[in-house]
């Protein structure tokens, strides 16, 4: 793919926002010719967002590579946290007048993009030596909870998506056991996503309210209740020393501890001696709490294998790893796997 006739539309499509960019092989995956961000829920479909973007940029796009927050099976995807109709590669290509469309799981794209990020795109939580060719684990709490991993095939890293965020939540202490029971009574099945994501943070907050952890201050409660995005309001109150925001601060402490446990589980599952990376929209916002709160203690709390997890480097990815990964995959022309 080269020249103006080979321009690529790359996209990172999530439950909260959709980021679209135009790329050329000459400029590469880190230098989009144009990029825009759209609120996903304000559009009826991915096709509608893409049409608006392409009509705005007026560039001769030939193909697309798009990552979506949901499983991809046979070139077809149903987004987990958006009420859009399923997206199909061939139908979307025809609708947009493109030669081809490739769909990736969003965490597969993140796993690709992680290897493209520069040191300035990362923040270190646990400084350790990366094992050459060691597996890489990615945990990404955004609207939902994504997971992926990459393994070295002798020449390069090969990413694999995962839907581990929908596995059964395992409590790590008595309070989390109470949380599990509280959620099970309301929802039945309790996944990690329900306690470790943008969807999950209001669940943690409401659990603490019901368990009478602290008296909820009226100004804070009213602001959260009226907010169009309760998760953002809880995070903002928890990160700032507002009077009466103890419930929000404890919500984030509970969240970061659970995130540490989940990240440590994936680190053991894939033996992530190449590094554990936190991506998604939330870790960069709560970065100070990841450094000072229970995250690292819970990540390392793995019984006889605690020393192994303590030897793995841990990072927060600040750069747009998913979009970079989608662009890189599209520009390379390689098939997944």
pTM above 0.85, yes or no: yes
Cα separation, 269 vs 272, in Å, equals 8
Give the pLDDT score at 81: 78
Residue carrying structure tokens 């995130």: 259
Give the pLDDT score at 200: 97
What is the CATH T-level fold of the domain 4-111+321-332, as seen in this structure? Nucleotidyltransferase; domain 5 (3.30.420)
Residue carrying structure tokens 């646990």: 126
* 152 has pLDDT over 80: yes
* 337 has pLDDT over 70: no
* 1 has pLDDT over 80: no
Q: Domain locations in the chain?
A: 4-111+321-332, 122-318
Cα separation, 74 vs 103, in Å, equals 10
Asked which of 79-88, 100-109, 236-245, 266-275 is least confident by mean pLDDT, the reply is 236-245
* 237 has pLDDT over 80: yes
Strands 314-317 and 275-278: parallel
Mean pLDDT of 306-319: 96
Cα separation, 113 vs 28, in Å, equals 12
Mean pLDDT of 58-81: 91
Asked which of 78-82, 247-251, 281-285 is least confident by mean pLDDT, the reply is 78-82
User: Would you call 222 exposed, middle or buried from its count of C-beta atoms within 10 A (0-12, 13-18, 19+)?
Assistant: exposed
More confident: 212 or 56: 56
The answer as to CATH 3.40.50.300 being correct for domain 122-318 is no
Asked which of 27-36, 42-51, 56-65, 78-87 is least confident by mean pLDDT, the reply is 78-87
Give the pLDDT score at 328: 94
Give the pLDDT score at 211: 92
Give the CB-side neighbour count of residue 81, counting CA atoms within 13 A: 24
Same fold: 4-111+321-332 with 122-318: no
Mean pLDDT of 194-220: 92
Give the pLDDT score at 14: 86
Give the pLDDT score at 219: 87
* 66 has pLDDT over 70: yes
């Amino acid at each position: 793919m080269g020249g103006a006739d080979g321009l690529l539309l790359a996209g990172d499509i999530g439950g909260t926002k959709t980021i679209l960019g135009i790329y050329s092989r000459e400029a590469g995956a880190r230098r989009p010719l144009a990029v825009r961000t759209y609120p996903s829920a304000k559009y009826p479909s991915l096709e509608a967002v893409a049409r608006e973007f392409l009509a705005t940029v007026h560039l001769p796009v030939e193909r697309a590579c798009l990552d979506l927050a949901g499983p991809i099976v046979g070139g077809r995807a149903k987004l987990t946290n958006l009420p859009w109709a399923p997206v199909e590669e061939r139908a979307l290509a025809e609708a947009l007048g493109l030669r081809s469309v490739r769909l990736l799981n969003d965490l597969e794209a993140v796993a690709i993009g992680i290897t493209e990020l520069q040191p300035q795109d990362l923040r270190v939580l646990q400084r350790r030596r990366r094992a050459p060719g060691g597996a890489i684990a990615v945990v990404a709490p955004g609207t939902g909870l994504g997971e992926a991993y990459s393994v070295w095939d002798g020449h390069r890293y090969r990413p694999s998506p995962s839907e581990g965020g929908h596995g059964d939540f395992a409590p790590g202490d008595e309070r989390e056991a109470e949380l599990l029971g509280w959620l099970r009574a309301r929802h039945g099945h309790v996944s990690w996503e329900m306690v470790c994501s943008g969807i999950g943070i209001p669940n943690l907050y409401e659990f603490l309210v019901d368990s009478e952890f602290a008296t909820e201050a009226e100004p804070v409660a009213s602001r959260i209740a009226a907010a169009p995005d309760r998760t953002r309001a809880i995070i903002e109150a928890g990160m700032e020393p507002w009077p009466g925001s103890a419930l929000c601060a404890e919500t984030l402490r509970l969240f970061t501890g659970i995130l540490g446990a989940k990240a440590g589980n994936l680190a053991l599952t894939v033996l992530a001696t190449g590094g554990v990376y936190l991506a998604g929209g939330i870790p960069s916002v709560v970065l100070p709490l990841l450094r000072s709160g229970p995250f690292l203690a819970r990540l390392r709390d793995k019984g006889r294998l605690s020393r192994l997890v303590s030897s793995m480097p841990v990072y927060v990815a600040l750069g747009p790893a998913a979009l970079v990964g989608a662009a890189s995959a599209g520009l390379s022309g390689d098939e997944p796997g």
